[in-house]
Amino acid sequence: MSAILVTGGAGFLGSHLCDRLIERGDDVICVDNFFTGRKQNIQHLIGHPQFELVRHDIVHPLYLECDQIYNLACPASPVAYQYNAIKTIKTSTVGMVNVLGLAKRCRARILHASTSEVYGDPEVHPQTEDYWGHVNPLGPRSCYDEGKRVAESLCMNYHLAHDLEVRLIRIFNTYGPRMDPNDGRVISNFITQALRGEPLTIYGDGSQTRSFCYVDDLIAGMMKLMDNDEHTGPFNIGNPVENSMLELAEKVLAETQSKSELKNLELPADDPKQRCPNIEKARTLLGWEPKVPLETGLKSTVAYYREQLGV
C-alpha cells in the first residue's frame, strides 16, 4: 500500500485515476481547488477509508506526506484555460515548482500530466516524442501550451539537479464519462448538441483530424508509466487512430440517433490541423496501447451525458 497524492483529483481524469488507485489498494490524497474539478466526480469516494480530500490550490505551497504524486492540476479545455490565462500559466509554473518541491522533500516519484499541446500546430505527423513542436508563444492557446512546456522543463531540471524520480506523459485527446458537458471540447460539444437537438458546430470545413483515447485506456497507460522503474519519458499516451471532425460528427449522430444538422463556423486561431500520436515508444517500453474503439467509448459517454442532461 502506498500513499499517493493526485493533484486535480476531482477532475475528469483525476477522479478516474483515484478510483483505479483505490481499487488497487492504495491510500489516495485528492487535492483540488475545484476551478474545473467537480465534487460529483468524487462524491462516491467521500467517506472511503482510503480516500482523503483536500481543497487546495497548488499555486500555494502544500505540506503533506506521500510516496507518489500524480500532477494533473491544470484546466485542460480551451474554454477553461483561456478563461483566466494568467492563472493557467501560474498553475503550470509556480504550481509545478511547489509540487516538485514537495516531491523532493518526500523523495516521492512524480508523474506530470503534460499534453499533446506541447507540439502546437505540428509540422510532423504523427507526432513522436523527439519532435520539439510548432507553438505560437503569443497566441490565445499559449497560456496552456507554453505553460506545459515550461512544466516539462522544470521536471527534467529537478530530475537532473536533485535526482528526483520524474515521469512525463503527453496526453492526447481523451474522452469518457465525467467529462464536463460544458467544457468546450469537441466530443462533449457534439454529444450535448446532438442530445439537445441543436446543430453540431463544425469549425472550418471539418477536415482537421484528432485521435480520441477512451479514459480507461489513458489511465492504464498513466499507471504503467508511473510504476515502471526505468523510463522517465516523455511518453505519448493516446489513440493513434485519426478521425476528421466530420467523421466524428457522423459517429455521434449515429450513436445518439439525433436529427441534428451540421453548422460550420470559423476556425479558431492556432487550432491544429492534425493531431495524432506515434505511440511506438509506449508500446515498446511500457507494453501499453489503447484497446477501446471509438464507437464503444462513445456508447458509454453518450449514456453518461443522457443521465447528466436528463434527456
The DSSP string of the chain is --EEEEETTTSHHHHHHHHHHHHHT-EEEEEE--SS--HHHHGGGTT-TTEEEEE--TTS------SEEEE--S--SHHHHHHTHHHHHHHHTHHHHHHHHHHHHHT-EEEEEEEGGGGBS-SSSSB-TT---B--TTSTTHHHHHHHHHHHHHHHHHHHHH---EEEEEE--EE-TTS-TTS--HHHHHHHHHHHTPPEEEETTS--EEE-EEHHHHHHHHHHHHH-SS----EEES---EEEHHHHHHHHHHHHT--PPEEEEPPPTT--S---B--HHHHHHH-------HHHHHHHHHHHHHHHHT-
Among 184-188, 234-238, 252-256, the range scoring the smallest mean pLDDT is 184-188
pLDDT at 6 over 70: yes
Nearest to 50 by CA among 86, 87, 81, 19: 19
Q: Is 305 in the active site? A: no
Q: Is 212 exposed, middle or buried (0-12, 13-18, 19+ CB in 10 A)?
A: buried
Listed in sequence order, the residues at least 6 apart from 238 whose beta carbon sits closer than 8 Å to its beta carbon are 116, 170, 171, 172, 173, 174, 211, 213, 218, 276, 277, 279, 290
Count of residues in the chain:
311
- Over the chain, what is the mean pLDDT? 95
Q: Could you give the CA distance from residue 57 to residue 31 in angstroms, rounded to a whole number?
A: 8
Listed in sequence order, the residues at least 6 apart from 158 whose beta carbon sits closer than 8 Å to its beta carbon are 100, 103, 104, 164, 166
Listed in sequence order, the residues at least 6 apart from 199 whose beta carbon sits closer than 8 Å to its beta carbon are 193, 260, 261, 262, 263
Residue 122: what pLDDT? 87
Domains in the chain (CATH in brackets) are: 3-174+213-237 (3.40.50.720), 177-210+241-276+292-309 (3.90.25.10)
| Confidence bin at 220 (pLDDT 50/70/90) | very high
pLDDT at 184 over 90: no
Among 50-54, 78-82, 134-138, 305-309, the range scoring the smallest mean pLDDT is 78-82
Average pLDDT over residues 70-94: 93
Sign of CA dihedral 48, 51, 57, 60: positive
Locus of grid cell 515502471: 228
| Confidence bin at 273 (pLDDT 50/70/90) | confident
- Could you tell me what percent of the chain has a pLDDT over 70? 99
Residue 22: what pLDDT? 98
Residue 1: what pLDDT? 67
Interval 22-68: pLDDT, tens: 999 999 999 999 999 999 999 999 999 999 999 999 999 999 999 99
| Confidence bin at 311 (pLDDT 50/70/90) | confident
Residue 270: what pLDDT? 64
Catalytic residue among 70, 144, 175, 305: 144
* pTM value surpassing 0.85: yes
- Could you tell me what percent of the chain has a pLDDT over 90? 86
